[in-house]
């Protein structure tokens, strides 16, 4: 996942310089950006274009973020970086009643927008990443809490910069990782004295420590001390389990669920020595990054690669394999890019509400030795492909993507996962509407199942056209349409033709809806980025408007549809 | 994330449901037993659709597990051909009037999911056991620890509602009927449930159901004669004419988890009815009669309000969901 950054670093790692020891450089990257949101509460007199039920006026808000990433660079051989977010997606104004009277507020506070801490006070300053990287004779080593990004960012997306047609990055992937990257063929060629000696094929191997000690006491089985009539469960009873009688007293003496939450103050002094509850993963990547290749007399860029992650946790018998392939090709203006991913494996660690298959309770899974009720088979897929034609003045691109869904999150098959929330597709349909639907239906109790704005349980097409009339200016228009993959009846409603086992089949539309985007962008003074983005979306009766409080209108033929409009603007200073 | 939400919630659910009982008069219309089919195609939920079919909800073929005989009114048994409830002679317990006293209440309002006290919630009490009967008899606001004090009645079926500031959207109105306190000379101590908006949202989410905002939810436990949960029972909700609302979705739990594939009560006895239109409803509990049909073994009544949850248990042998504590009965 580190590959692009590591690869670039390695490309720069030619012959080491012999500079003086005090040859230090201080570098600063980052940005300050503000973004304004308007969600229409009526558009040109049309009161049916609004977001929330009962919304009478346009909803307006501004948020901001200062991202600082200072670095120390010693002769390009050893570097240290930090990254901090200040006022991270903090809403403008005093929203914590710092002033005794709101009308006379003057000292803004740090109320966050979005995510699980939406509307809550956030740390004004948060150090998110810190890592070092240094060259060794055969490659590059990077160690620390670092960004993770791969390919188009469907799975691992650092969330850095301003890289989408419309929308904003909010999160970003960060891992505690140690990784080594090298150019094996180039090294072999050099040792053998053969040409070419700089073949840009990179290999990386790393290890991530995801968890040292989760605040979850995992048992993998349940214990009750009493039957429903209050009688003690004793040895000889059908439901007697010796594991629930650890002292051999002949009756159940302990009572617990499959797992139980703890608090960090309940940790013992040796909390870190238990290795069974650790979650770690090995990361392997191989990528070819050819630039300026000669194809038919014209220069071409070709990047092809794949990475694989093997994630394990012993006590939950979790063995999950993540595979991701990426390709990018640019030749004579012809542009192709694609990324596909899958997550496969078995785990007993997904104890989200409803993720336990209660029909299997009490039975032992032969592979894991744990209660079958906990065993989940992960079978998740996703991809995005893009193709088009790019010229200096314009580009035309067609994009198609997919994120597999799960029509029954409570069964043993775990098949749904949205694409990364910072891979932005449009401004409304995924980013706002489905994000709201998933958050409202799963509630805070299952925030891990929110889409957070990522492509969710659907296939989509997203053709885009960009025109660059003059230096620093560009105008982009795009059109998004999405169809459900596996409607679950709660977040995406089912239609009769859906091949899923729904309780009700009240929807009629095949698609979830469509969205039209228009963006005007300009960079001035080299460092200041301005963007004005708007979107209009129309959604179908696939969505549970009433349940989640979204506004809808009923058409003449009795169907419920949503109409949404947003106007957003970003201005950012890039360091 | 609270990984143990449902696991934590369900014992509370059971505990909450266990406290519901009372002696309301039987308001049901179908107090007999035997196989019934009332597919009337009547639009009972006002959504333009027709009524739902009885057999869509009552179709269990497995024999129930539980004591369904010992409380037979006429001393007969289901094993003698299913005659136990044929007479429709439901148990009719009347409390000893001397046990029905005005007293003081020291109550605790707990979150149904977490068991945490609910801050400054309002408790409304209807001593008529009918929350549709206009203004409550008492409305008291709990303190920051969920503690409420009020006037109360022993051995009397009482309906209550717990609500919080609707602008905060923290909870949904939570009703419970047939709440009956044991007889006591002193202050009554009772617990009252409050369902958070998160819990209200996540149960239908797990079941793959989209709840209508203008409809409500009923939940409860099916109990046998001995007071234990019944496995193998099914629930249907009908109006006074026997019509089933087309929007009705009834689901069951397995091991105290909502489970969309469970077709009848599991050993936990838990059930939930979603998208019940506003109004007064009869909740009927059926089991397979062993002869290819079904027999009703208990029922209760439920006034349903939009976007709210009502807790109402069903006891075998009782047509009104009201089972009095022993010390409320004459000779108890």
Instruction: Indicate whether B217 and B175 sit together in one domain.
Output: no
- Could you say which of B1, B209, B214 has the minimum Cβ distance to residue A490? B209
User: CB-based contact (8 Å) between A407 and chain B?
Assistant: yes
Between chains, do A490 and B199 touch, taking CB under 8 Å as contact? no
Residue B326 lies in a domain: no
Pairing state between β B257-259 and B279-288: unpaired
pLDDT tens string A81-133: 999 999 999 999 999 999 989 999 989 999 999 887 889 999 999 999 999 99
Query: What is d(CA B286, CA B63) in angstroms, rounded to the nearest whole number?
Result: 11
Q: Do the Cβ atoms of B237 and B247 come closer than 8 Å? A: no
Domain boundary among B142, B165, B197: B197
User: CB-based contact (8 Å) between A119 and chain B?
Assistant: no
Instruction: Indicate whether B62 and B117 sit together in one domain.
Output: no
**Which chain A residues are Cβ-neighbours of B202 within 8 angstroms?**
353-354, 441-443, 445-446
User: CB-based contact (8 Å) between B214 and chain A?
Assistant: yes
ipTM > 0.90, yes or no: no
User: Six-digit token pair at A170?
Assistant: 């909010």
Domain boundary among B163, B197, B231: B197
Between chains, do A410 and B257 touch, taking CB under 8 Å as contact? yes
Instruction: Indicate whether B145 and B204 sit together in one domain.
Output: no
Query: What is d(CA A272, CA B314) in angstroms, rounded to the nearest whole number?
Result: 50
Structural Rg of chain A based on CA atoms: 27
Closest residue in B to A53 (Cα–Cα): B213
- The answer for B 88-117 residues in CB contact with A (under 8 A) is 113
Query: What is d(CA B332, CA B327) in angstroms, rounded to the nearest whole number?
Result: 4
Residue B327 lies in a domain: no
For A451-468, the DSSP string reads: -TTS--SEEEE--EEEE-
The distance of B199 to chain A (nearest Cα, Å) reads 8
User: CB-based contact (8 Å) between B197 and chain A?
Assistant: yes
Q: CB-based contacts of A100: which residues, under 8 Å, 6+ apart?
A: none
Domain boundary among B178, B197, B216: B197
Virtual CA dihedral for B137, B142, B146, B147, nearest 10 degrees? -80
**Which chain A residues are Cβ-neighbours of B257 within 8 angstroms?**
354, 356, 358, 410
Q: CB-based contacts of A448: which residues, under 8 Å, 6+ apart?
A: A352, B1
Q: What is the CATH number of the domain that holds B289?
A: 2.60.40.1120
pLDDT tens string A221-270: 888 898 767 789 999 988 898 999 999 999 999 998 888 888 999 898 99
**Res B36 pLDDT > 70:** no
Instruction: Indicate whether B205 and B192 sit together in one domain.
Output: no
Q: Is B290 left (phi over 0), alpha (psi -120 to 50) or beta?
A: left
Structural Rg of chain B based on CA atoms: 19
pLDDT at B104: 93
What's the total number of domains in chain B? 2
Cβ atoms within 10 Å, residue B78: 20
Q: Which residue shows structure tokens 């009815």?
A: B273
Q: Do the Cβ atoms of A259 and B3 come closer than 8 Å? A: yes
Residue B76 lies in a domain: yes
Between chains, do A353 and B206 touch, taking CB under 8 Å as contact? yes
**Res B256 pLDDT > 80:** no
**Res A190 pLDDT > 50:** yes
Q: Across the strands, what pairs with A387? A: A336, A398
**Which chain B residues are Cβ-neighbours of A361 within 8 angstroms?**
254-255
User: CB-based contact (8 Å) between A491 and chain B?
Assistant: yes
- Could you say which of B2, B4, B205 has the minimum Cβ distance to residue A490? B205
Residue % of chain B over a pLDDT of 90 = 44
The count of residues in chain B is 332
**Which chain B residues are Cβ-neighbours of A407 within 8 angstroms?**
208
Instruction: Indicate whether B19 and B67 sit together in one domain.
Output: yes
Domain ranges of chain A: 3-14+24-39+62-209, 428-575
Instruction: Indicate whether B104 and B234 sit together in one domain.
Output: no
Residue B329 lies in a domain: no
Query: What is d(CA A370, CA A565) in angstroms, rounded to the nearest whole number?
Result: 50
Instruction: Indicate whether B209 and B317 sit together in one domain.
Output: yes
Instruction: Indicate whether B37 and B62 sit together in one domain.
Output: yes
Cβ atoms within 10 Å, residue B332: 14
Provide φ and ψ at A418, rounded to 5°.
-70, 160
Between chains, do A358 and B253 touch, taking CB under 8 Å as contact? yes
Instruction: Indicate whether B300 and B273 sit together in one domain.
Output: yes
Between chains, do B257 and A358 touch, taking CB under 8 Å as contact? yes
Q: What is the CATH number of the domain that holds B130?
A: 2.60.40.2190
Residue B331 lies in a domain: no
Q: Across the strands, what pairs with A180? A: A141, A205
Q: CB-based contacts of A498: which residues, under 8 Å, 6+ apart?
A: A484, A486, A487, A505
**Res B14 pLDDT > 60:** no
User: CB-based contact (8 Å) between A490 and chain B?
Assistant: yes
Give CA separation, A394 vs A387, A466, A474, A517, in Å: 14, 5, 9, 17
pTM of the model: 0.85
Instruction: Indicate whether B28 and B58 sit together in one domain.
Output: yes
Q: Find the domain containing B267 and state its range.
A: 5-94+199-321
Instruction: Indicate whether B54 and B20 sit together in one domain.
Output: yes
pLDDT at A189: 86
Q: Do the Cβ atoms of A285 and A309 come closer than 8 Å? A: no
- pLDDT category at A158 given cuts 50, 70, 90 is very high
Instruction: Indicate whether B227 and B306 sit together in one domain.
Output: yes
Mean residue pLDDT of chain B comes to: 80
């Amino acid at each position: 996942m580190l590959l692009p950054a590591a690869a670039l670093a390695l490309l720069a790692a030619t012959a080491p310089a012999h500079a003086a020891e005090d040859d230090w450089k201080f570098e600063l990257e980052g940005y300050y950006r503000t973004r304004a949101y308007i969600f229409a509460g009526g558009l040109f007199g049309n009161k049916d274009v609004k977001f929330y039920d009962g919304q009478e006026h346009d909803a307006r808000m501004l948020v901001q973020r200062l991202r600082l990433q200072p670095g120390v660079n010693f002769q390009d051989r050893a570097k240290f970086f930090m990254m901090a977010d200040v006022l991270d997606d903090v809403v403008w104004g005093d929203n914590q009643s710092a002033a005794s009277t709101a009308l006379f507020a003057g000292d803004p506070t740090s109320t966050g927008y979005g995510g699980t801490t939406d509307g809550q006070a956030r740390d004004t300053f948060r150090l998110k990443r810190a890592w070092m990287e240094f060259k060794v004779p055969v490659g590059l080593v990077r160690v620390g809490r670092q960004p993770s990004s791969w390919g188009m960012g469907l799975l691992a997306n650092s969330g850095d910069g301003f890289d989408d047609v419309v929308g904003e990055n909010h999160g970003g992937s960060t891992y505690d990782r140690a990784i080594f990257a090298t150019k094996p063929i180039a090294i072999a060629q050099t040792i053998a004295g053969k040409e070419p000696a700089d073949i840009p094929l990179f290999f990386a191997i790393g290890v991530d420590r995801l968890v040292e000690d989760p605040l979850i006491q995992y048992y993998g089985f349940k214990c009750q001390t009493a039957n429903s009539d209050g009688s003690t469960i004793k040895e000889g009873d059908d439901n007697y389990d010796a594991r629930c009688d650890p002292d051999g007293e002949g009756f159940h003496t302990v009572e617990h669920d499959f797992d139980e939450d703890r608090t960090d103050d309940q940790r013992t002094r040796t909390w870190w020595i238990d290795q069974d509850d650790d979650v770690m993963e090995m990361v392997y990547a191989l990528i070819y990054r050819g630039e300026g290749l000669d194809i038919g007399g014209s220069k071409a860029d070709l990047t092809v690669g794949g990475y694989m992650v093997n994630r394990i946790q012993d006590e939950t018998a979790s063995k999950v394999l993540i595979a991701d392939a990426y390709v990018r090709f640019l030749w004579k203006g012809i542009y192709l890019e694609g990324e596909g991913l899958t997550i496969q494996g078995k785990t007993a660690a997904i104890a989200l509400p409803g993720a336990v298959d209660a029909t299997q309770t009490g039975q032992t899974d032969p592979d894991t030795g744990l209660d079958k009720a906990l065993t989940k088979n992960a079978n998740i897929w996703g991809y995005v492909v893009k193709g088009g034609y790019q010229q200096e003045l314009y580009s035309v691109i067609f994009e198609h993507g997919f994120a597999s869904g799960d029509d029954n999150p409570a069964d043993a098959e775990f098949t749904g996962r949205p694409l990364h929330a910072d891979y932005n597709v449009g401004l409304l349909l995924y980013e706002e509407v489905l994000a709201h639907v998933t958050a409202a239906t799963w509630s805070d109790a299952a925030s891990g199942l929110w889409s957070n704005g990522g492509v969710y349980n659907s296939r989509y097409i997203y053709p885009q056209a960009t025109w660059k009339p003059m230096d620093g200016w560009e105008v982009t228009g795009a059109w998004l349409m999405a169809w459900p993959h596996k409607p679950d009846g709660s977040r995406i409603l089912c239609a009769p033709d859906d091949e899923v086992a729904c309780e009700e089949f009240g929807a009629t539309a095949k698609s979830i809806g469509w969205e039209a985007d228009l963006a005007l962008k300009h960079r001035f003074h080299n460092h200041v980025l301005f963007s004005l983005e708007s979107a209009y979306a129309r959604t179908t009766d696939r969505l549970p408007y009433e349940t989640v409080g979204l506004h809808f209108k009923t058409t003449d033929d009795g169907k419920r549809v949503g109409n949404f409009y947003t106007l957003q603007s970003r201005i950012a200073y890039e360091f | 994330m609270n990984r143990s939400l449902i696991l934590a919630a369900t014992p509370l659910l059971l505990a909450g449901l266990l406290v519901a009982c009372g002696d309301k008069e039987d308001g049901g219309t179908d107090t007999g037993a035997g196989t019934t089919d009332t597919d009337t195609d009547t639009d009972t939920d006002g959504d333009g659709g027709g009524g739902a079919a009885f057999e869509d909800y009552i179709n269990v073929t497995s024999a129930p597990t539980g004591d369904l005989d010992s409380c037979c009114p006429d001393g007969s048994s289901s094993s003698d051909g299913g005659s136990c409830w044929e007479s429709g002679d439901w148990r009719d317990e009347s409390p000893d009037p001397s046990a029905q006293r005005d007293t003081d209440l020291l109550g605790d309002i707990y979150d149904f999911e977490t068991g945490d006290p609910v801050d400054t919630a309002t408790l409304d009490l209807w001593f008529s056991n009918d929350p549709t009967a206009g203004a409550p008899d008492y409305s008291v606001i709990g303190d920051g620890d969920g503690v409420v004090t009020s006037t109360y009645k022993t051995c009397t079926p009482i309906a209550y509602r717990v609500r919080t500031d609707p602008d905060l959207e923290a909870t949904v109105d939570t009703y419970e009927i047939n709440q009956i306190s044991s007889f006591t000379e002193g202050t009554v101590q009772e617990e009252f449930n409050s369902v958070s908006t998160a819990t209200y949202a996540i149960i239908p989410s797990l079941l793959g159901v989209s709840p209508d905002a203008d409809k409500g939810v009923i939940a409860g436990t099916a109990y046998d004669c001995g007071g234990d949960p019944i496995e193998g029972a099914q629930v249907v909700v009908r109006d006074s004419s026997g019509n089933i609302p087309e929007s009705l979705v009834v689901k069951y739990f397995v091991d105290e988890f909502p489970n969309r594939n469970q077709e009848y009560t599991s050993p936990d006895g838990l059930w939930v009815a979603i998208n019940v239109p506003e109004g007064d409803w009869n909740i009927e509990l059926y089991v397979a009669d062993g002869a290819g049909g079904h027999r009703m073994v208990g029922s209760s009544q439920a006034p349903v309000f939009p976007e709210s949850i009502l807790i109402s248990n069903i006891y075998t042998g009782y047509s009104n969901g009201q089972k009095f504590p022993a010390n409320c009965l004459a000779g108890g």
